[in-house]
Chain A
Amino acid sequence: MLSITCAGFGGQGVLTAGLLLAHVSMVSGKEITWVPSYGSEMRGGTASCRLRIGDEAILNPFFSSMDTLIAMNQESLDSFQDAIAPGGVLISNSSMVKDAEFRDDIRVIEVAATEIAGDLKNPRGANIVMLGAAVAATGLVDAEEFADGIDAYFAKKGRSNPLNRECFMRGVQAAAEA
């Protein structure tokens, strides 16, 4: 079972990134819990969601120690880096996290997600770049299969956008190069 936290500013698509992770995992037969953060964080501050993904029924949807953190901004890194389990994975958005001190007992993958998404003319796809890096780094689901899942998810909502797949694959590539 993997415990994953996805965090950033409200508006950076962290809840959507978590939803995509949950949805595609479900389609590939996994059990999932997805819990959004709550309270004053909803109003402009840090937004986050916590996921547990596994092959067996998920008992407790809450956790204080996570395997993977997707940090879209500096505040998220500051809030959650200490909670990553030793040997865990940190995907850090280097477009917004500058000069950070990273722990040396975790695997850090820096991805310039906001810039990559901007370059691809899909500025709202930074969350999907980060997702690509997370999926590649955790090996949760095959990357191509996951990209198909993203396409299917947005197609069903009538919001197909081939740039999302490009964003995702750039994230996968970034993780491979890290």
Chain B
Amino acid sequence: MPRRLMKGNDALSEAAVRAGCRFFGGYPITPQSEILEYLSWRLPEAGGTFIQAESELSGINMVYGAAAAGFRAMTSSSGPGYSLLQEGISYIASAELPAVFIDVQRYGSGLGDIFQAQSDYWQATRGGGHGDYRTLVYAPASVQEGVDLIQVAFDKADQYRNPCQILSDASIAQMMEPVTLPEMHEHDPNADWAVRGKRGGDFKRVTSTMYYIEDFDAYIKNKYDVMAEQEQRWESVLVEDADLVLVAYGISSRICKEAVEIARAQGIRLGLLRPITLWPFPVKGFAEVNPDVKAYLSVELTSLPKMEDDVKLACEMKAPVEKFLGGANIPESTAIVERAVSILKEQR
């Protein structure tokens, strides 16, 4: 299949349609509005339904309904709009329905600003809504990886009957890269559990499953334990002999990859562990790291550290964990190398 030059948001939208998504309800907000713009014509063309809702709250609840009816459904948002989705995500998780949410992270709390950031890490991985639920959170680092991961997200949402999220950011969303798109996939909405009029199948559940399951505590714990054990994804770059391992996801991981390349050319043994799933955090990836690693450096585009906590837990503090933060300023790869060198000096 020939490569196409696509913007991150457009590519995610097309890949969602090709993954069988046939419903989108949402509200525009920069930097994710291209998703709505694209799906507003593409979904009807593919026989699906696009609704620009009056708010994010109604958008997510429309997704709830479409998911209960067995359709592959999705919404997307950013910044304050993403906060508004959280109640609905909690409801969909409690009803154990599959759906996909995209958060194109933008900078700052409150209204914030429209440029890239990675500040929604806790909201995405700690369950921004109330109660006992988790979502699989995928963090693409390129336009192509977004295309690949949204297929995975829809499949995993079905497999576990649980919402999945794509945690993108303004830079990957707005940039263009060549992509290879998958073939069109049709999804059959007639699942046994789906509300399909008066047809047969299982007892239909459109509200919290806790009302119908005995020993719900054990059941729900087991569900998320299995996901945590089986769904970790990561990429490791030269971690086996690294003196210092950078940990970074999404757009910051690309700056870090360049930092690793620069450092290695100078004989500095830098490595990179790139979480692809943020929940579950890829704890298993840390087993690949040089047992004599001197330090970890968590690199995040956020004013206040967030992923750093997960790095500390994952490495069990067997080596010191330092942080390199960004936010309004995109860090230079050379600055990351300099910081790594100075940390290594302190560790000697």
A residues in contact (CB < 8 Å) with B: 19, 22-23, 26, 31-36, 38-39, 58-62, 64
Contacts and interface: CB of A to CB of B under 8 A. Distances in A.
A106 to B, nearest CB: 21
B115 A38 contact: yes
Nearest to B144: A57
A59 B258 contact: yes
Given A59-B258, A62-B330, A26 B5 contact: yes
Contacts of A33: 175-177
Given A60-B257, A64-B332, A23 B5 contact: yes
A61 B254 contact: yes
Contacts of B114: 38-39
A59 B178 contact: no
20 contacts: A22-B176, A23-B5, A26-B178, A32-B176, A32-B177, A33-B175, A35-B171, A35-B174, A38-B114, A38-B174, A39-B115, A59-B254, A60-B254, A60-B255, A60-B257, A60-B333, A61-B171, A61-B251, A61-B254, A62-B255
Interface in B171-185: 171, 174-178
Interface of B: 3, 5, 31, 113-115, 170-171, 174-178, 251, 254-255, 257-258, 261, 330, 332-333
A16 to B, nearest CB: 12
Contact of B177 (A34, A62, A64): A34
A59 B175 contact: no
Q: Which of A26, A31, A35, A59 has the most CB of B within 10 A?
A: A59
A38 B171 CA distance: 9
B115 A59 contact: no
A59 B253 CA distance: 9
Given A33-B176, A34-B5, A39-B113, 13 more contacts: A26-B3, A33-B177, A35-B171, A35-B174, A38-B31, A38-B170, A58-B177, A59-B257, A59-B258, A60-B257, A61-B175, A61-B251, A64-B332
Contacts, number: 52
B339 to A, nearest CB: 16
B249 to A, nearest CB: 15
A39 B330 CA distance: 14
Interface of A (DSSP majority class) = mixed
Contacts of B258: 59-60
A35 B174 CA distance: 7
Q: Which of A38, A39, A64 has the most CB of B within 10 A?
A: A38
A123 B3 CA distance: 32
Contacts of B31: 38
B255 A19 contact: no
B317 to A, nearest CB: 30
Nearest to B252: A60
B58 to A, nearest CB: 29
Nearest to B115: A38
Contacts of A32: 5, 176-178
Contacts of B113: 39
A23 B170 CA distance: 21
Nearest to B260: A59
